A and B are shown apart, each in its own frame.
Chain A
Amino acid sequence: MTATDVRDRALPARIASFPFPFPTDTYRYSTNVEPALAPRSTAAGSWGEHVLHVDEHYASDSAECAALLAADPTRLQELPHMRPAAWDAMLYVMGELRRARPDAFGLDRLGGDRWRWRNALLRIEQEFTFGDDATLPSGPLEFVAPQVQDDLVLLDQREGALWADAGVVTAAADWSMRFDVGMSFPEIHGPVPRVHPEGVIDRAHQFLMRLQPGEAYRRTNWTMTVGRRLDTATETYPEWGPDRRLVLEQDLGARLHLRVEVQHLVRLPSSGAVLFLIRTHLLPLEDLARVPAWRDRFAAVLEELPEDMADYKGLTRFRSAAVAWLRGAA
């Protein structure tokens, strides 16, 4: 038995279930979609058995989402025609929570449109009539968003395009739901470098529009964040933006995080809207370095990443320091 084996066995769940996103030593944008609901193994464990993953941060993430929604209600956006899709999304999310953790969540049909929802982790019990706003304490998106660790964006399909017409986003990686609401899928992705000449966005758009009712796919995306901070929305840039400069003065390994989004793309069954679930996982470099294969791979990816992509992801100020730290931790 080697030292590595011993270390691997002691890895905590936050590392073992971390969706490490790099299959090779170089990273470029691609239409990297794959069918959902299949476990994917990594050097440290696996992830992706269910659409929704409930972890040790559930209660604190829920409280942070609710607090942000209270402080800034514009984190929830919903154009008037999206209410049926919002109900559809709520019922879908409840069903997937129950599927992932039947011990903690219950969804029972009481007959016809009457349902009972039980969330033992947050001590919520709610009976409701599907489609009847008066039977919930708030709108369906506002009700369900703090009960799931993912952000939710709803895309309406019409006139040969998808439109981001509703969403609850409290863990944005430097974007704003309020700014993007009502935009088409190509418009939203306008600022991303490189992807347009290569047709990546157009292919993804075409693919999403062909999803059939109930189909679910997933992809990952990534960036880096200073501190375990979920909310890096455009709205709060003055609060977190300066950390990108200040991080160099602090303990890099504890403060710099690899931020990975597991995005699920689901054709909601009865409204026909596409639901984007965005789950953000943050792992500090010192945790990441406990898996030697990840430490080496991430150092290689960061070092090789072209300048325009590093700029777009906001890594420019600390990229070389992060590479040096990872190499030094070997």
Chain B
Amino acid sequence: MTALSPPAPVEAPGRTGPGTLLLRVTDVREAAAGIRTVEFVPADGGSLPAHPPGSHLVLHCGDRRNAYSLTGSGIAPESYTISVLLCPDGSGGSRWVHDLVVGDVVAADGPRSAFAPVATARHHLLVAGGIGITPLLSHARAAARWNRDFTLLYGYRPGAGAHLEELRRLCGRRLEEHPDLAVFLARIETALAGAPLGTHLYACGPAALLDVVLGTAERLGWPEARVHTERFSAAALDPGAPFEVTLARSGRRLTVPSGVSLLEALEDSGVPVPSMCRQGVCGECRVPVVAGSPLHRDLFLGEAEKAAADSLMCCVSRSTGPTLELDL
């Protein structure tokens, strides 16, 4: 499953955890008609960050950044594998992946988790449509490994089912294959109606399928907290629009480009600002605003403080307009 142009992670200096990875392609193969499976290892021979099931990797595809689900269990991975459906009418990300050959080196941002299994679930009901199988293959691997109770419903067009052989081996009777769409939709209804209390539902696939799954779950009275759909959430902040900053005390002006935080821009210009978390929670880097309208993206300021618009947390927050004047 892919989502074009997900938010690019904000890279702050001193930030720990997986940053940008350099990966070398070790295998490319046809998983099904129009679906290419690509395997990567670290280009420098080191180890790869582990990740929860259902995580995605953000590949730098030329000047775009596209998120692709990792299909492994995520436990101490020795390689990363993605499967990508060619979308001829898309904006080029899938074409870029399909053009990769063994030996190519690509850049990626480390795994990000937004579709993880819930450990307390009594049963895991996995519903995959088409290429939406990729994060649920990851779920199924982890569930099989930890002996979690699960069922996987996999709907696909005849001849276009990716990963069928390994799914059959991995899941045995826990896999239900549905090449017939009408039967698949009917089975979703009965599966959601008959799932034991305490079941968590995970669905990934085309928007139309997710609409059916969500509508059915709501109609049958599923609690929202037990229904999970794959969407690339704002786990990282978007890079934001560029804006101009005027420093009221010195009269200096500087530009904050997209993808660069106001804090970084100030530091780069030799204007020191005390900072700590660089995530908008600690409150250390608050700066006073003289004019302009802050775009608050922090968790520190209260609603009233945000509405007052007289200060902002410069590590994450930006400007709603083209200019901002700070009391610095």
Contacts and interface: CB of A to CB of B under 8 A. Distances in A.
Contacts, number: 116
Contacts of A199: 302
Contacts of B300: 31, 203
B113 A35 contact: no
B16 A33 contact: no
A88 B276 CA distance: 28
B14 interface: yes
B16 A215 contact: yes
Interface stretch (B24-32, B69-77, B209-217, B251-259): B69-77
6 contacts: A35-B16, A36-B16, A203-B299, A213-B52, A270-B52, A271-B52
A130 interface: yes
B51 A213 contact: yes
B273 to A, nearest CB: 15
Interface string B11-51: 00011111000000000000000000000000000000111
Contacts of B161: none
Interface string A191-230: 0000000010001101100101111110000000000000
Contacts of A31: 277, 281-283, 300
Interface residues of B, number: 38
B119 interface: yes
Contacts of B55: 213
B76 A83 contact: no
Given A37-B16, A84-B146, A272-B52, A207 B279 contact: yes
B306 to A, nearest CB: 13
A249 interface: no
Interface of B: 14-18, 49-52, 55, 73-76, 110-113, 116, 118-120, 142, 145-146, 225, 235-236, 276-279, 281-283, 299-300, 302
A34 interface: yes
Given A84-B119, A158-B118, A158-B119, A214 B279 contact: no
Summarize B's interface: helix, strand, loop or mixed. loop
A34 B119 CA distance: 28
Contact of B50 (A158, A204, A213): A213
Given A270-B73, A271-B52, A207 B299 contact: yes
Contacts of A85: 119
B110 A214 contact: yes
B116 A272 contact: yes
B299 to A, nearest CB: 5
Given A82-B119, A270-B51, A213 B276 contact: no
Contacts of A203: 281, 299-300
Nearest to A85: B119
Q: 8 closest Cβ contacts across the A-B interface?
A: A269-B50, A215-B17, A272-B52, A81-B119, A270-B50, A207-B281, A214-B17, A270-B75
Contacts of A130: 75-76
A66 interface: no
Given A35-B15, A199-B302, A270-B51, 18 more contacts: A31-B300, A33-B277, A34-B276, A34-B277, A83-B146, A84-B142, A85-B119, A113-B75, A157-B116, A158-B225, A207-B281, A210-B235, A214-B17, A215-B17, A269-B49, A270-B74, A270-B75, A270-B76
A156 interface: yes
Contacts of A156: 119-120
Contacts of B49: 213-214, 269
A91 interface: yes
Contacts of B281: 31, 33, 203-204, 206-207
Nearest to A206: B299
A30 interface: yes
Contact of A213 (B15, B113, B277): B113
A213 B112 contact: yes
Contacts of A160: 225
Contacts of B142: 84
A212 B112 contact: yes
A189 interface: no
Contacts of A35: 14-16, 277-278
A34 B276 CA distance: 5
B17 A216 contact: yes
Contacts of A273: 119
Q: Which of A81, A130, A158, A199 has the most CB of B within 10 A?
A: A158
A159 interface: yes
B50 A33 contact: no
B315 to A, nearest CB: 12
A130 B208 CA distance: 40
A205 to B, nearest CB: 10
A248 interface: no
Nearest to B116: A272
A277 to B, nearest CB: 14
A32 B284 CA distance: 9
Interface string A25-48: 000001111111110000000000
Contact of A131 (B14, B75, B235): B75
